[in-house]
Amino acid sequence: MDGKGTTRRCLASGSRLKELLNLVKPPPSACKEAEDCPHGEVCPLSKVSAGTSVQVKRLSAPPETSKRLREMGFTEDQTIRLVSQQASVICQVCNARLGISKELAEQIWVQPMGRRVA
């Protein structure tokens, strides 16, 4: 159902990866001005192309919204897959499909896993 093997990664708590990624994690502002997101940098979910698997890094939405996002599975270091990137965004968080408005996608900072499926 998910992109190759991502289901498994999605389910890992991420603690092992966390340390590794923390070492290479660029400052969150790295992508703010950039038009597109080079690999390995943190950028808003709205800038990622469809089919990419990404890891959630930081939420900059208001606290209430961030809380709900986390409860719906957008926790830090969770791996999600972007299914469609059009007017709004659809992503696969574990096995649930969530539709998210563009404004909100702009406030979800992610790091592409560097693997494009679509």
Partner 1 sequence: MSEIKAGSVPYVALTGNPNSGKTTVFNALTGLRARVGNYAGVTVERKEGRLIWEKGDSAVSPTRDTPVIILDLPGTYSLSPQSIDEQVSRDILFHRVAEVPAPSLVVIVLDGSNLQRNLYYATQVIELGYPTLVALNMMDVARNNGHEINPEELSQALGVPVVPLVANEGQGMPELRRRIRDMATRGTKRTLPRTFCELPIPFGVEIEAVSALLRKNTPQRQTSADAEALLLLSDEKVLSKNTAHYGADLEKVVLQARQRLEAAAVEWRSVAIEARYARVAAIDQAVTTWVDPNRESFSDKADRIVTHKWWGSLIFVAIMFLMFEGIFWFAGYPMDWINAGVAWLADKVSSSMPPGDLNSLLTSGVIKGVGAVVVFLPQICLLFLFIALLEDSGYMARAAFLMDRLMSRVGLHGKSFIPMLSSFACAIPGIMATRTIESPKDRLATILVAPLMSCSARLPVYTLLIGVCIPAINVLGIFGLQGLTMLSMYLLGIVGAMAMAWLFKATLLKGEPPMLILELPPYKRPVPKVILRHMWDRSRMFIKRAGTVILGINILLWFLATYPKSPEISAKFESDRSVAAATVFPALQGAAMDKALADLQAKFAQPQVVTNSAEAALLGMFGGMEKQKQGEMLRHSFAGRMGLLLEPLIKPLGFDWKIGIGIIGSFAAREVFVSTMSTVYNLGESDEVTKDLEDTLRDQKREDGSTLYTPLLGVTLMVFYVFALQCVSTVAVVRRETNSWKWPIFQWAYMLVLAWGLAFVTFQGGKLLGLQ
Measured distance CA(22)–CA(31) in Å, rounded: 17
Contacting residues for 113 by C-beta, under 8 A, at least 6 apart: 52, 53, 54, 55, 79
Minimum Å gap between C-beta 110 and partner 1 is: 16
Please, are residues 45 and 110 in contact by the beta-carbon 8 Å criterion? yes
Minimum Å gap between C-beta 95 and partner 1 is: 4
Q: Of 23 and 87, which CB lies nearer to partner 1 in the complex structure?
A: 87
Give the chain's length.
118
Q: Of 48 and 83, which CB lies nearer to partner 1 in the complex structure?
A: 83
Q: Which residues bind partner 1 (CB under 8 A)?
A: 1-2, 4-5, 7-8, 10-15, 61-73, 75-76, 78, 83-84, 86-88, 90, 93-101, 103-104
